[in-house]
């Protein structure tokens, strides 16, 4: 049965930040990275869209559209970097405990 939901249009992040991309590395799925810890919020309380900042872009109907193309202030930036670093550490530990192979794109501790 076809869905009535549309995916919107893809919005490319025209100013990708290589630092943010490197913090999660290639091959890591955002859903796995997020786990049960929601992404950080902007100072206005809106959740940051990890898809827009950590992949090539996101969709125009994204629930966190207000954060697309946002220039982060120092506090927001620091919070996002800390979140990504912490989530990668948790993901590595979870996979190590499960005896899984290393997370793609990660550096062993």
pLDDT of the residue at 6: 67
5 inside domain: no
Distance CA 32, CA 21 (A): 15
H/E stretch holding 104 reads: none
Element (H, E) at 103: none
- The rounded average pLDDT for each run of 10 residues, N- to C-terminus, in the chain (109 residues) is 66 92 85 95 95 93 93 95 95 80 53
How far is Cα 70 from Cα 47, in angstroms, rounded to an integer? 12
Q: How many domains does the chain have?
A: 1
Tell me if 61 is assigned to some domain.
yes
Answer yes or no: is 1 within a domain: no
Q: Answer yes or no: is 3 within a domain.
A: no
pLDDT given at position 68? 93
41 occurs within a structural domain: yes
Give me the long-range contacts of 57-60 (CB less than 8 A, separation at least 24). 57/10, 57/11, 57/12, 57/13, 58/10, 58/11, 58/13, 59/7, 59/8, 59/9, 59/10, 59/11, 60/8, 60/9, 60/10, 60/11
pLDDT of residue 1: 43
Q: Quick check: is 27 in a domain?
A: yes
The pTM assigned to this predicted structure is 0.80
């Amino acid at each position: 049965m076809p869905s009535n939901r549309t995916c919107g249009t893809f919005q490319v992040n025209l100013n990708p930040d290589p630092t943010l991309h490197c913090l999660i590395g290639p091959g890591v799925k955002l859903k796995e990275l997020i786990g049960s810890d929601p992404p950080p919020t902007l100072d206005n309380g809106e959740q940051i869209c990890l898809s827009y900042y950590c992949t090539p872009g996101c969709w125009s109907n994204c629930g966190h559209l207000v954060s697309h193309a946002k220039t982060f202030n120092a506090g927001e930036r620091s919070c996002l970097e800390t979140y990504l670093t912490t989530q990668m550490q948790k993901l590595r530990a979870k996979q190590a405990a499960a005896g899984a192979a290393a997370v793609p794109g990660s550096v062993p501790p």
